[in-house]
A = this chain, B = another copy of it.
Amino acid sequence: MNQSELDKITNVDQPLTYYEKEDQVLLAVDCIIFGFDQNKLKLLLVKRNIEPEFGKWSLIGGFMKKNENLDTTAARVLYTLTGLSDIYMEQLYTYSKVDRDPGQRAISVSYFALIDVANHQFDGIQLDSAKWFDLDEAPKLIFDHQDMVDKAIARLRRRALSKPIGFELLPEKFTMRQLQTLYESILDKKLDKRNFINKINSLDVLIKLEEKDKTVSRKGAYLYNFDKDKYEKKVKEDGFSFKL
């Protein structure tokens, strides 16, 4: 009697009607969580609290349950660790090397998440073991998590140039300088201030507020909102596409 046949006999809540002879595997989700704080792009990592590799730094992750889809799993994993919901997440890539997890054969689907660090209260449910790292100061990660991070950074770069996802990393109100610094950290290169502002303004999706942020300069810098409705209207009606 093989595994699948046993499955069939013993698993009463989900009879294997059609694909009886096929192997089943564990499916995990690992989240690459980006944040922007102190003018730096950060990565949220945790100290692993299970074997194998107990105590090593790792992406946050968890296994998909039968009644979930992957997006749901990713949201749950993020919520369980940080207490945050309604966070921008995007599926990235599925990692399947046979020996990628020495604990047991497990396939992992990576997701990236963008968090506005400053303005989210971390209920910090499990945050004792979690820590934000500068991208270039992150510790060595377990398994293939570094590959996941590298791919996530590449994707973040591409996305940030072609979709207005950068705003997910900023507070509601932000200055031009903050926005520029954000893009500079994502793209890992200096940008010209005037060209940047001209480009952003030409996209015409920001609302300039009356209010100024005076915490960083004496003169004060105008605050802006991203006008999501206007952006979506432009996309729908004029085929507009955000290109930085």
Contact pattern, A 5-37, Cβ under 8 Å of B = 1, otherwise 0: 011001100101111001111110000000000
In the assembled complex, the CB of A113 is this many whole angstroms from the nearest CB of chain B, namely 17
A11 to B27, CA, bound (A): 18
Q: Which of A95-103, A164-172, A214-222 contacts B (4 or more CB under 8 A)?
A: A95-103
**A60 CB → nearest B CB, Å:** 16
Classify chain A's interface size. Answer: 35 or more
As for how many copies of this chain the complex holds, the number is 2
Residues of chain A in range 194-223 having any CB-CB distance to chain B below 8 Å: none
CB closest chain-B residue, reference A3: B11
**In the bound complex, how far is the Cα of B1 from the Cα of A106, in angstroms?**
23
A155 interfacial by beta-carbon distance below 8 Å: no
Report the Cα distance A52→B18, complex, angstroms: 7
Q: A7-B7, A27-B107 are in contact. List 13 more A-B contacts (CB 8 A).
A: A3-B7, A3-B10, A14-B105, A17-B103, A18-B50, A18-B103, A19-B106, A24-B24, A24-B25, A24-B27, A25-B64, A25-B66, A70-B107
